[in-house]
Amino acid sequence: MPTEASRPLPGHIQLAAAADALRAYPFACWHYGDSVGFEGLLAASEILAEPAYGAFAHGFMRAWAARARPFRELDNTAPGHAMCLVYEQTGDEQLLSTAQELASFLRARPAIEGVYAAFARAPLIEPCDGSPLPESERVLLTDPGAGVFVDCMHFDPPFFVHLGRITGDDELVDAGVTQALAAVRLLQDPRTGIFHHFYLARTGRRYGYGWSRGQGWALLGLLDVLELAPPGHSGIAPLRDALLALVAGLAATQHPSGHWPAVVDVPDAFLEASAALFYAAGLARGVRLGLLPPEVRAVAERAFAAGLETVDNQGIVHGVSVAVWACTKRDHYLALPTGPPVPWGQGPILLAAAELCRGPL
């Protein structure tokens, strides 16, 4: 959390500093968290009337497009939806062409229960609190097999739907909607609306129920697909049902501070700052799009106010957990350390600020 010596500054200055900190981040081209980071940079250009942030995003993506081949497994984390936004702003045909090649590569991956596998070997780790795993789970560390992760709801589905819409490729749009529907079936709890973090093909089990930032990835991904897909698409109704169920689960678990615990149904877990900012962006957007009832905006505003209080005078969002990787033991998610500025903290505050500034459609 910010110290007394680094109390938050007024909003506009805070947001500009947050955008500068995000632009300074050493993006790996590509990795988990990049999608919301680059979308945050594009939002910063909008709300701060400063084209340099969007220009940075375009330049970074254009450089990637020049050396993208051969594609690799981690390219499934590429900020495809953000690339489509940049193409719409710039008309960069090289970027569009490479995005199309990337989509073809991603669609050639094997699927697990209808969802493209993020990793042939899921990145499982020991619990970060040092507690032991049962032997049945310990053996998975050396041979976990392939997995599906909730983060990817913010990657493939929005990218495919957006790219298909730009290029007039209805099959690609269908592929994106189908991916979102399959992820909902595999990872969302039908009773609570809350998502699990991941699923392993080897065990046929889901893990990491209620990881709070994971709900943010699902929330933003669902909203992207619902906004971009044709209104008459058969997948719209079930995806909106999934969205409403998730939002009901989130509204019921908001902490009095406006934050959410690191695991949403564990009230005494540490408060994860990135969750409040993800949710502020998503909930406000859902109301603006007419997908969520107007009263949800108050939840978003409380969340944004809470998130803004975590920002210091260098624009750093504090209280954001480091990369979680994946663990079969739920206690792992309750003991995650927080760390330096990361895209999944800096990006959401800019998205949320931009969304709260926009009026209804």
- Domains held by the chain: number: 1
Residue 2 lies in a domain: no
Q: How many CB atoms lie within 10 A of CB 104?
A: 11
pLDDT at 7 (0 to 100): 37
Q: List, for residues 157-192, the tens digit of each pLDDT value.
A: 999 999 999 999 999 999 999 999 999 999 999 999
Q: List, for residues 14-24, the tens digit of each pLDDT value.
A: 899 999 999 99
Residue 107 lies in a domain: yes
Strand partners, 149: 198
pLDDT at 3 (0 to 100): 41
Angle, CA of 34, 179 and 61, to the nearest 5°: 25
Please report, for the domain that includes residue 161, its CATH number.
1.50.10.10
**What is the C-alpha to C-alpha distance for residues 196 and 96, in angstroms, rounded to an integer?**
33
Three-class SS of residue 202? coil
Residue 151 lies in a domain: yes
Strand partners, 271: 261
pLDDT at 358 (0 to 100): 87
Residue 58 lies in a domain: yes
pLDDT at residue 51 above 60? yes
Q: Can you give the length of the chain in residues? A: 361
pLDDT at 1 (0 to 100): 43
Q: List, for residues 76-124, the tens digit of each pLDDT value.
A: 999 999 999 999 999 999 999 999 999 999 999 999 999 999 999 999 9
pLDDT at residue 256 above 80? yes
Reading the block at residue 223, the tokens are 């909203």
pTM of the model: 0.96
Residue numbers of the domain that contains 17: 7-357
Residue 304 lies in a domain: yes
Residue 1 lies in a domain: no
Residue 188 lies in a domain: yes
**What is the C-alpha to C-alpha distance for residues 218 and 153, in angstroms, rounded to an integer?**
6
Q: Give yes or no for a contact between 204 and 266, defined as CB atoms under 8 angstroms apart.
A: no
